[in-house]
Structure 1
Amino acid sequence: MTSCGIQKRSFDTPELGLELNEDYLTGKEDSLFKNTEPVIAWWQGFKDPILDSLILKARSNNIDINAAIANFYASRAGLKSTKFDRFPTVDANGSFIRQRLGENVFVPGTNPTYNQYNGGFDAFWELDLFGRVTNRIRGAKAKEQASLADMRSIYLSIFAEVARNYIELRGTQNQLKIAKENLASQQETFELTTRLTNAGTSNSLDVSRAKAQLESTRATIPPLNASITAIINRISVLVGKTPGTLTNELEIEQPIPSLPGTILAGNASNFLRRRPDIFKAEAVLAQQIARYNISVADLYPKIAFGGGIGYSAIDIDNFGSKPSFNWNLTPTINWAAFNLGRVKKNIDQQDAFTLALVNQYEKTVLSALEEIKTTMNNYALELERQIMLKEAAKASAEAATYAKQRFEAGLDDFLDYLNAERTLLLAQNELAVSQTLSATNLIAVYKALGGGWQIINKEEVDNKFQQLKIQDISKTNKSN
């Protein structure tokens, strides 16, 4: 407690009034989610070698990751620079002056034009009596940690983005396959109707209806092809390649990767520690607490020492000799003794900023809990929906087969057959969309759990930063 009744703040993480049981994330014992430490490289659970290779390429070449690493090293350099504030700042200086004095200044009989040689060292050191230096270092450390959290968040986001786009690619290819299969079936129907009309057992209305349905299905194919191209281009950029580079590799149709039977979610406390956004909120709060403590320290004097040693002579031959040696010592005390009102208002301002960030931290935690619970629920319910859609697709396929048989036997009219085909296409397409959505919902769960960035170690980041510096030098040399 200071003499003015203003207390410095600690750097501890705020206490949250949350009651989270160990099974908060997983629920009942037979749940789809298990209270077991999650797998870090969650994308490997899809058991798709192509997806694994794309994640590896993004890990090595993604532009956003490169920028995040560079920003992290900038903040780390800033921290190291701030740590030097604990020690005296020493500067070397030297100068040469040739000048002429006015006639009313120099002593008669002496040379009014002369040289002056100066050289030495100046030093400055601020005492850390009231925590200014310590809090500057703590603030720089917190800034570095916030940048580290940003880097982790970028890794996590890029991994999830690559996986999501890959799943959407396979899902769109599956929809294209369904559309082409239905197109082939409808083409047969159109040709059959045309033959029956020519034979006099059908009519032009049935031909027109068959033609309309055929062309409607055909019209769904170009947008699907466009989506496939766009997704491949997006994946190419995510892995640091020119759009279109991965076309040959990814345009070959593959099934949607299978989903794991259970999801390892862990417990709530571990979940909160894995989230980069929560880690960043803590770091930003710590940075603001450092600013607040510095403002409190302004209530007290700032004590520093300055000084220098060196040589000064007007003759180069005497420079460095004992008579030319000089030194000075300059203690200084700065205190806002008559401006404490302004200092206290600044403290109030920094205190208010700190309170805002305390609440922002709590909001970040609650938002994280909301995200994970929502994504888990979406995933579980979509799996339930997918089971229903499988039954619907199966029943629609059987209905289409029966409708075709009854039409060819003359028991039902052509419109019933067309409706059955249309219903089958819709059911199969709905199922394909649900399969894609289930997988992307699972990716959202993994992202919300905060897993993936843990595979990145310090050595990899150091090597990556050195590679970026080498690449920058190479690009600079080429441009010159």
Structure 2
Amino acid sequence: MSVKRLSICCALPLLIGLSACQTVGPDYVAPKFDLVGAYTPPVPVIAANQADHGRWWESTSDPVLRDLIALGLANNLDLRIAASRIEEARAVARGVSGANGIEVGANVNGDAERGTSSRERGDQTTDLGFGAGIDFSWTADVWGGQQREDEVALADYLEQVYLREDVYLTVIADIVRNYIELRGTQKRQELLRSSLDLQRQTSNIVQVRMQTGLASELDLSRARAEVSDIEATLPTLQTDIDRSINAIAILLGAQPGTYRDRLVDVQPLPEFDSAPPIGIPADLLRRRPDVRAAELSLISATSEIGVQTADLYPELTLDGSLALGATGYGSGPIVRTAMAAIGAVIDATLYDGGARQADIDVAEQQAQQAFYSYQQTLLVAIQDVESAIYGYVGAVQQRDSLISSVRYHRQAFEQSRVRYVQGLSNFLDVLDSQRTLTQSQQDLADAETDLELETINLYSAVGLSVEDVERYADKAGIDMNNG
């Protein structure tokens, strides 16, 4: 490395001339994606009220779910980790800004000397001295490398803000999904218990008929076997209920089972009075936090190219100092001194074997990878919405068909039991119709749960509104105008 020291007279004109140079590295330009104007499947109308801000979870009439969401947003550990990462990125940005500024130091010193005369009187003299000084160092951002470092730090910081919003949306959706699964399983369990009571009644009828010689022991065995089959299914449903309760507790940052008392009572599936606007694929560029975070990652990677490019050029550093001192206290005369110095250093690497160019090549490839990741994230977001639309439409059709199926199976069961009691049909008809009724009721309960889940999938797929992100930014004291 070759270092040349210039006088201040030469350095200042050179600094002024070099400062007029342009910032090295590419400026970020938002990529243009050829997006279709609408989603492939027709967008369904889910709720009569379209919430402009998209906070659909606030429109639920279920007080338990509202409380769970509030607790989750306050205590979820993933959210706390995401918030901590924001503060970490904020601190990194401050550090980068500070490191690129002027560095000022100070020092204070003192000394004391005592002398004794060699004459017979042995006179002693004391000489005290004091000094203080300050020094500074500043590296000029001649090629814009420091500006690019600030851009990288800011983009990384804002990326964490949007990633936090992505976690925010995910936590809400996960709480709602687990709550829906819990209520759906509880409904299935309740229906199965009703079917069990009905099957036991049928078994009692068969037993009475067998005592009067109107039914066989085979019919009774079949009836009792059907009761046992239903009883065997209940523990499995209870296990699913317990797991859902524990999963909700974890999402709320609590130990498993903490909220069991609030969740064990059977409640209907939650309903939401509003739905977020589905919009068009281009809206996801602003509504999906993960898409915006991916773009900020691309911005950061683009600015990093400038950081590495600036290392190709010489670095200009200004150093200065001011020192004040006084000596002679005690022995006189007092001598006061003042010294000032300023200098400039140009630091240039003449040969590095291509290491710096390799760093630029690495940065360029990382920017290319960030672009592909951004594009992939956007495509996945579009896929999420379209898949959720297909899922919702299919779930609606399935539920409507199963409503009719349950009605017909109930009629068939009632007719078969009446005919059996009248001796017009055999017991296998009763068993078959009751078994299919039980299964169709379970299928309908599953379909209603799946429809709720597909609805939440669609709501979460369209993302948050920009206002939600800005609301959090204002609350956290984050300036989003620089992003």
Identity %: 26
What is aligned with 2:32?
15
- Displacement of 1:397 after TM fit? 0.9
Looking at structure 2, the residues matched to 7 and 305 of structure 1 have their Cα atoms a distance apart, in angstroms, of 21
CA RMSD of aligned residues (A): 3.2
- Displacement of 1:25 after TM fit? 7.2
- Displacement of 1:12 after TM fit? 2.2
1:83-102 counterparts in 2 under 5 A?
A: 83-94=97-108
- Displacement of 1:131 after TM fit? 0.6
- Displacement of 1:382 after TM fit? 0.8
Flag structure 2 segments of 5+ consecutive residues without an equivalent. 1-22, 114-126, 479-483
What is aligned with 2:141?
128
- Displacement of 1:240 after TM fit? 2.8
- Displacement of 1:54 after TM fit? 1.5
What is aligned with 1:437?
450
Amino acid at match of 1:20: V
What is aligned with 1:151?
164
1:314-463 counterparts in 2 under 5 A?
A: 323-339=336-352, 341-451=354-464, 454-455=467-468, 456-458=471-473, 460-461=475-476
- Displacement of 1:73 after TM fit? 1.5
Looking at structure 2, the residues matched to 337 and 454 of structure 1 have their Cα atoms a distance apart, in angstroms, of 51
What is aligned with 1:72?
86
- Displacement of 1:26 after TM fit? 7.2
Q: Which structure has the greater CA radius of gyration? A: 2
Question: Contact 1:42/1:451 (CA < 8 Å) preserved in 2?
Answer: no
Question: Contact 1:396/1:420 (CA < 8 Å) preserved in 2?
Answer: yes
CA deviation string 1:367-390 (max 9, x = no partner): 111111111111111111111111
What is aligned with 2:65?
51
CA deviation string 1:202-249 (max 9, x = no partner): 122111111111011111111212221221222122223333222222
Task: Check 1:145–1:459 CA distance in 2 against 1; reply closer, same or farther (3 A cut).
Answer: closer
Task: Check 1:208–1:317 CA distance in 2 against 1; reply closer, same or farther (3 A cut).
Answer: farther
Task: Check 1:95–1:181 CA distance in 2 against 1; reply closer, same or farther (3 A cut).
Answer: farther
Question: Contact 1:34/1:263 (CA < 8 Å) preserved in 2?
Answer: no
Question: Contact 2:48/2:274 (CA < 8 Å) preserved in 1?
Answer: no
2:269 to 249, 256, 265: 256
Task: Check 1:331–1:157 CA distance in 2 against 1; reply closer, same or farther (3 A cut).
Answer: same
1:87 counterpart SS class: coil
What is aligned with 1:197?
210
1:182 has 2:199 as partner = no
Question: Contact 2:51/2:275 (CA < 8 Å) preserved in 1?
Answer: no
What is aligned with 1:24?
39
Looking at structure 1, the residues matched to 201 and 51 of structure 2 have their Cα atoms a distance apart, in angstroms, of 54
Amino acid at match of 2:295: E
Segment drifting more, 115-124 vs 170-179: 115-124
1:166-315 counterparts in 2 under 5 A?
A: 166-258=179-271, 264-311=277-324
Looking at structure 2, the residues matched to 326 and 333 of structure 1 have their Cα atoms a distance apart, in angstroms, of 24
Amino acid at match of 1:427: S
Looking at structure 2, the residues matched to 322 and 414 of structure 1 have their Cα atoms a distance apart, in angstroms, of 122
Task: State TM-score, norm by structure 2.
Answer: 0.83
What is aligned with 2:54?
40
1:109-124 counterparts in 2 under 5 A?
A: 119-124=132-137
2:104 counterpart SS class: strand
CA deviation string 1:347-383 (max 9, x = no partner): 2221111112111111111111111111111111111
Looking at structure 1, the residues matched to 232 and 317 of structure 2 have their Cα atoms a distance apart, in angstroms, of 79
Aligned residues: 442
Question: Contact 2:62/2:270 (CA < 8 Å) preserved in 1?
Answer: yes
What is aligned with 1:471?
none
Segment drifting more, 173-182 vs 32-41: 32-41
CA deviation string 1:247-298 (max 9, x = no partner): 2222111111236697631233323201111111111111111211111112
Task: Check 1:189–1:95 CA distance in 2 against 1; reply closer, same or farther (3 A cut).
Answer: farther
Task: State TM-score, norm by structure 1.
Answer: 0.83
